[in-house]
Chain A
Amino acid sequence: KQEVTQIPAALSVPEGENLVLNCSFTDSAIYNLQWFRQDPGKGLTSLLLIQSSQREQTSGRLNASLDKSSGRSTLYIAASQPGDSATYLCAVRPLFNTGGFKTIFGAGTRLFVKA
């Protein structure tokens, strides 16, 4: 059974730091991996989606990498800003679904960027 783990659960950094959020998954047979951002009391906003055949995706100050063989993905945030403070969730869509397009989510990393 696919499980997704995100470490650390919470992270506090000063403004301007580059930082890395980690996501690990137990089964390398994945279709894609998606990173989301969630602000308190809000829905999820899609940040980056990496297909299983890709190694990384970039959007602005964000870069996500994927290493299927080791079951890991990282989200790199460059030059962090207070506006980056949010919870970041990783989600994996398994390659073989038992009956639909089911996605497995990690519990998230809560990021706080201090001004």
Chain B
Amino acid sequence: DGGITQSPKYLFRKEGQNVTLSCEQNLNHDAMYWYRQDPGQGLRLIYYSQIVNDFQKGDIAEGYSVSREKKESFPLTVTSAQKNPTAFYLCASAGTGLLNEQFFGPGTRLTVL
């Protein structure tokens, strides 16, 4: 059963704490993405990766970090430098073939206490 999984579903962070959001895919996709969604707004790109051991900053990368050590995994760390991290975080993947259709995980809701 192919797809994208994200964990945890809900995450609470104290101020000054770093937290890591997990994203795993078994679709054999090369490209993976992290988006942030705030109420009433479209998705904003945080980081993306086209291939293992390579990733690029998106539009709102400040205060976030990622790694891509395996094709299947693209974890996102929200650092204490991110001043307003409360949001819904979505991970996606896409093949790099002709279609380039994006598929999304179920999301992680992060709340700062």
Interface, chain A (partner B; CB < 8 A): 4, 9, 31-32, 34, 36, 41-46, 49, 51, 89, 91, 93, 99-103, 105-108
Contact = CB atoms under 8 A, between A and B. Distances in A.
Contacts of A46: 101-104
Contact of B41 (A4, A101, A107): A107
A21 B88 CA distance: 24
B50 A105 contact: no
Contacts of B107: 41-43
Contacts, number: 64
Interface residues of B, number: 30
Contacts of B109: 41
Given A43-B90, A43-B105, A43-B106, A101 B45 contact: no
B58 A4 contact: no
A102 B40 contact: no
B104 A105 contact: no
B45 A102 contact: yes
Contact of B58 (A43, A102, A108): A102
Interface stretch (B11-19, B77-85, B92-100): B92-100
21 contacts: A31-B100, A32-B100, A32-B101, A41-B107, A42-B107, A43-B106, A43-B107, A44-B90, A44-B102, A45-B104, A46-B101, A51-B99, A91-B102, A93-B100, A99-B56, A100-B50, A101-B48, A101-B50, A102-B58, A103-B33, A108-B42
